[in-house]
Amino acid sequence: MNSIEVRSLSKSFGDVKAVDSVSFSVKKGEFFGLLGPNGAGKTTTINMLTGLLEKDSGEISILGKNPNEDWEYVKNRMNVSTAYFPISDVLTVRQALNVYSRIFGVKDYKRKISELLVKFELSHLQDRRIILLSSGERTRVAIAKGLLNDPEVLFLDECTVGLDPDIADKTRTLMREYQKEKGAAIFFTSHYMFEVEMLCGRIGFMINGRLLNVDTSANLKRIIRKTTVEMVVKEGRAKLLRDFLLEEDVDVLFMEDNRVAFEVASSGDRLYRLMNKIFAQGFKLSDLHIKRPTLEDLFIKLARRK
């Protein structure tokens, strides 16, 4: 059974189509990432899934239930954390966690809160008002709140924004451990490509309200068909190398001093065969840099294509 199932989900604000007939599913125990530039519709999608925003059309199923009909069942088994809304900033960290543990009906909530405070290194801040915390500390409080009820479905909206690298790394580890331990489905949005690639089994790309591609990171990167190669050759040989590459019908990006950069198809053995030919021509390299396509390349490509 899929933990989240979305079919033809749409939402408009006036003339602006924020989410345009989006369909996807997230399996039980899957870490699913949603990528896209600002205004792509990621947060609007999360807001509809969490019941904060009414959809115009489409179907949502969470844990096999229609959230509108089995609202209480669904909401007790899901939670959301975001870097943008730091819970109630009037309350202290412990007070906020106290309030939400009652709201979620958490049994043995004192133990649970203490555990989360230790896990997210918040114990020394527990009696400080949330408004006085740094943005990274507030984000950790929001994530701790997100785990209070051991949700089967967890929405993490840009939740590592503002965290320092050490805490961000610990947070990612905790999220992964949580997903494995509880078999929870985690719906994750982020601007940091490396963490999406690191955490998510499948990734969806959203641009202008439309979900363009949903696949594994490896498959998505194949959309960018070119690998960039930069070679440094001996003095006076760069022009010869460029001419040779042009004869071989290779896209040369630039030639500068002893440096030549070109693009070749990522798929198949084209790069391997070309390198053999270059060496057979007697070109001696003093440096070589091969840049495989990354999610960031894909993100930029898709974002600019909009």
Partner 1 sequence: MKFHRIAGLLLKHYYTTTNKADRLFDMFYWPAIDLFVWGFASMYISKISNYNLLSMLLGGIILWIFVWRGSQDIAVYMLEDFWSKNLYHLFSSPVRLSELLFSVILFAFFRSIVSGIAMAVLAYLMYSFNLLSIPIAVAGISVFLLSLFGWIMGLFVAGLILRYGQRIQVLGWSTVWVVQPFSCVFYPLSALPLWAKSIAVWLPTTYVFENMRAALAGSAVDYSAYFLSFLVSLVLLGVMLLFVYSSFRHSKKTGLLARGD
Per CB under 8 A, does 16 bind partner 1?
Answer: no
Per CB under 8 A, does 47 bind partner 1?
Answer: yes
- Closest approach of partner 1 to the CB of residue 12, in Å: 10
Three-state SS sequence of 160-227: CCCCCHHHHHHHHHHHHHHHHHHCCEEEEECCCHHHHHHHCCEEEEEECCEEEEEECHHHHHCCCCEE
Among 57, 66, 90, 269, binds partner 1 (CB under 8 A): 90
Per CB under 8 A, does 53 bind partner 1?
Answer: yes
Helix (H) or strand (E) holding 261: strand 259-265
Among 2, 95, 114, 213, binds partner 1 (CB under 8 A): 95
Contacts 24+ apart (CB under 8 A), 190-194: 190/33, 190/35, 190/158, 190/159, 190/160, 191/158, 191/161, 192/160, 193/35, 193/294, 193/295, 193/296, 193/299, 194/295
Under 8 Å CB-to-CB from 303, ≥6 apart: which residues?
36, 37, 207
Among 20, 70, 89, 263, binds partner 1 (CB under 8 A): 89
Among 38, 105, 124, 257, binds partner 1 (CB under 8 A): 105
- Closest approach of partner 1 to the CB of residue 106, in Å: 9
- Closest approach of partner 1 to the CB of residue 122, in Å: 17
Among 52, 118, 246, 253, binds partner 1 (CB under 8 A): 52
Per CB under 8 A, does 232 bind partner 1?
Answer: no
- Closest approach of partner 1 to the CB of residue 168, in Å: 22
* Secondary structure of residue 299 in the 3-state scheme: helix
For partner 1, the closer CB: 46 or 199: 46
How many whole angstroms separate alpha carbon 220 and alpha carbon 298? 8
For partner 1, the closer CB: 77 or 221: 77
Among 3, 45, 61, 92, binds partner 1 (CB under 8 A): 92
How many whole angstroms separate alpha carbon 166 and alpha carbon 57? 42
Per CB under 8 A, does 72 bind partner 1?
Answer: yes
Per CB under 8 A, does 13 bind partner 1?
Answer: yes
* Secondary structure of residue 97 in the 3-state scheme: helix
Q: Are 233 and 287 in contact (CB under 8 A)?
A: no
Per CB under 8 A, does 98 bind partner 1?
Answer: yes
Return residues touching partner 1 (CB under 8 A).
13, 43-44, 47, 50-54, 71-72, 75-76, 79-80, 82, 84-92, 95, 98-105, 129, 145, 155
